Amino acid sequence: MKKTGAQILCESLVKEGVEVIFGILGGAILPVYDTFPQYPQLRHILVRHEQGAAHAADGYARATHKAGVCIATSGPGATNLVTGIANAYMDSSPIIAITGQVARPFIGKDAFQEADITGITLPITKHNYLVTDTRELAKTVKEAFYTAQTGRPGPVLIDIPKDVQQEKAEFVYPEKVDLPGYKFVSRGHSVQIKKAAKLINKAERPVIIAGRGIIISQAFGELKELAEKAQIPVVNTLLGISSFPGNHILNFGMMGMHGTAYANMAVQNADLIIAIGMRFDDRATANTGGFAPLARIIHIDIDPAEIGKNVPVDIPIVGDVKNVLRAINKGIELREHLDWFSQLDQWRYEHPLLETRQGDELLPQYVIHQIYEVTKGDTTVVTGIGQHQMWAAQHIVYTKPDSLISSGGLGTMGFALPAAIGVKVGRPEEMVWCIDGDGSFQMTIQELATITQENIAIKIAIINNGYLGMVRQWQELFYERRYVDTKLWNPDFVKIAEAYDIPGIRVRHREEVIPAIQKAIDHPGPFLIDFFVKPEENVYPMVPPGESISRILEMPKPELVSSY
């Protein structure tokens, strides 16, 4: 039977097992929206800005390990998705972005709300499509879901002209895709795997750098087996956090610009780096010129183009992390590395991270750590970008696999709130904490309406220091305290929440922190806490931009007086 393009799209989404779509409508996508009531199994969540739809789809994808879908109209609707698509691209998150386009006869005529969205998103999508033939629509959706979710995941955009949505065609959903140019290697090369195992077995000072690839591949057990069997310390990239238990004796925390001193020291003194599912981002490696000077490097990644892109490697292994680790683990001998660990433990003792000051002012590190203490880690944390994000990376112990969701590569302020919506929709039983900065929060604050309309029970913690804090920190440290345009006038976030029918509370003092967090947890719906924290607190340790990760700025010592 013939169906309209809009029906074909919906049928195809159902075939792909889609349950939720985040979006906002407009003229060029109306035929699709008009069809939604025929498909009650597709839940549509109406956002307030398309960027929110893309981030929510991204959060959903990260939370569920299946493609997140967002939808928007042509022109400004489509261009508003761009930041969210770029964010998903940088962090290898599988989202499907569906955009309406002006009808085919109008394409290229600068019609009302026309934008060349396939041209615009060319460098920030894994692939994109402009569907000009209704008979190709089902096949296109099939290909889009396949490419987005396999190999190195990533965003795929499908641009559908309005008259294609309206035109009728025969609906046949293809069983298979035919993509001669699309390939990925999922099993590592056996010779390379043998070489890697051999190197691991004879290493004296090995370090594992665990990246987001482990989470994508869900290779938690395999990573743990390797680390425990060969007794190798594990450090994480930002997005690798929660790939390995935070309370594990072998976990040495995050590396990089705001990594622990001992994680960076481990990397810099290692004789072997086993880099797993990570891409040697400059925030993790700092200046690559001075990176891990003593180490040979094994690099495991599913994307061959990541091999040797930023750092030369000795043993590249292209393949799915889970498969590769399984194969490597077979050749691993039991080791102890006692000397290496006594050195590492000394560094850990000399350069503690989980220490902060007692004082009158409310410290953001304390606040964030208490979220961990009160929840006992049984929560998924979603962050925005900036100081609060780094503190959330440092001061929460991620004991549960896959429990931190953050914008890493693109560093998109405004990610937290809409992403947390997506995470909560994807993990309805999970407690979801959205930890955001006052600057970051205001970039997508309008999604509070989405939360209320859809009753998304997330807990929002605003780490409010009245500044664009991370930028202010850079101004303090590298621009002689010239705080140009980083001071924020803020609205009353509790009243804002109230206006959106979300209960909220302001916290100014240390003793109010735990009760407030408990109150948020006890409340069945969404809840907001506005934490007024010390305005000029810095994130330490810090490797100054452009420097080698050996040059670590730590918190000025006299201030370190007590632990939590």
Partner 1 sequence: MTDTKHTLVALVEDKPGVLNRVASLFRRRAFNIESIAVGHSERPGLSRMTVVVNGDFAQVEQVRKQLDKLINVVRVSDITGEDIVARELALIKVKATASTRSEIIQIVDIFRANIVDVASDSLTVEVTGDEDKVESLLELLRNFGIKEISRTGRIALTRGGVA
Residues that bind partner 1 (CB under 8 A): 118-119, 122-123, 126-127, 130, 147, 179-182, 303-305, 307-309, 312
Closest distance between partner 1 and the C-beta of residue 143, in Å? 8
Q: Which of 3, 126, 139, 162 does the annotation list as catalytic?
A: 162
Task: Examine the residue annotation and report whether 536 is marked as an active-site residue of this protein.
Answer: no
Q: Which of 255, 278, 413, 470 does the annotation list as catalytic?
A: 470
The angle at the Cα of 248, spanning 242 to 254, to the nearest 5 degrees, equals: 50
Residues 6+ apart with CB under 8 A from 343: 205, 269
Q: Which CA distances in Å does 359 have to 461, 510, 524?
A: 21, 9, 33
Separation between Cα atoms, residue 502 and residue 417, nearest integer Å: 14
**Residues forming beta bridges with residue 297, ordered by sequence position:** 273
In the bound state with partner 1, the residue whose beta carbon lies nearer, of 126 and 322, is 126
Between the two ends of the chain, the Cα-to-Cα distance in Å is 67
Closest distance between partner 1 and the C-beta of residue 304, in Å? 5
Q: Which of 7, 11, 22, 50 does the annotation list as catalytic?
A: 50
Closest distance between partner 1 and the C-beta of residue 535, in Å? 39
Separation between Cα atoms, residue 503 and residue 219, nearest integer Å: 39
Q: Which of 38, 112, 333, 487 does the annotation list as catalytic?
A: 112
Closest distance between partner 1 and the C-beta of residue 278, in Å? 17
Task: Examine the residue annotation and report whether 192 is marked as an active-site residue of this protein.
Answer: no
Three-state DSSP class for 326?
helix
Separation between Cα atoms, residue 377 and residue 178, nearest integer Å: 44
Scanning the structure block, which residue is given the tokens 């290692």? 270
**SS (HEC) of 508-525:** CCHHHHHHHHHHHHHCCC
Q: Which of 19, 36, 113, 194 does the annotation list as catalytic?
A: 113
In the bound state with partner 1, the residue whose beta carbon lies nearer, of 104 and 337, is 104
Q: Which residue from 182, 188, 185 is spatially nearest to 145, judged by alpha carbons?
A: 182
Task: Examine the residue annotation and report whether 50 is marked as an active-site residue of this protein.
Answer: yes
β-strands 206-210, 234-236 pairing: parallel
Kindly state the tokens that stand for 469.
């804090």
In the bound state with partner 1, the residue whose beta carbon lies nearer, of 123 and 524, is 123
Task: Examine the residue annotation and report whether 265 is marked as an active-site residue of this protein.
Answer: no
In the bound state with partner 1, the residue whose beta carbon lies nearer, of 308 and 546, is 308
Separation between Cα atoms, residue 245 and residue 259, nearest integer Å: 16
Separation between Cα atoms, residue 268 and residue 273, nearest integer Å: 10
In the bound state with partner 1, the residue whose beta carbon lies nearer, of 113 and 150, is 150
Closest distance between partner 1 and the C-beta of residue 109, in Å? 17
Burial class (CB in 10 A: 0-12, 13-18, 19+), 514: middle
Separation between Cα atoms, residue 21 and residue 199, nearest integer Å: 47
In the bound state with partner 1, the residue whose beta carbon lies nearer, of 127 and 348, is 127
Closest distance between partner 1 and the C-beta of residue 181, in Å? 4
Helical spans, DSSP H, in 231-304: 261-269, 282-285
Closest distance between partner 1 and the C-beta of residue 433, in Å? 36
Separation between Cα atoms, residue 399 and residue 234, nearest integer Å: 14
Q: For residue 195, how far is the Cα from the chain centroid?
A: 32
Task: Examine the residue annotation and report whether 112 is marked as an active-site residue of this protein.
Answer: yes
In the bound state with partner 1, the residue whose beta carbon lies nearer, of 156 and 276, is 156
In the bound state with partner 1, the residue whose beta carbon lies nearer, of 310 and 343, is 310
Closest distance between partner 1 and the C-beta of residue 318, in Å? 10
Active site residues per annotation? 50, 112-113, 162, 470
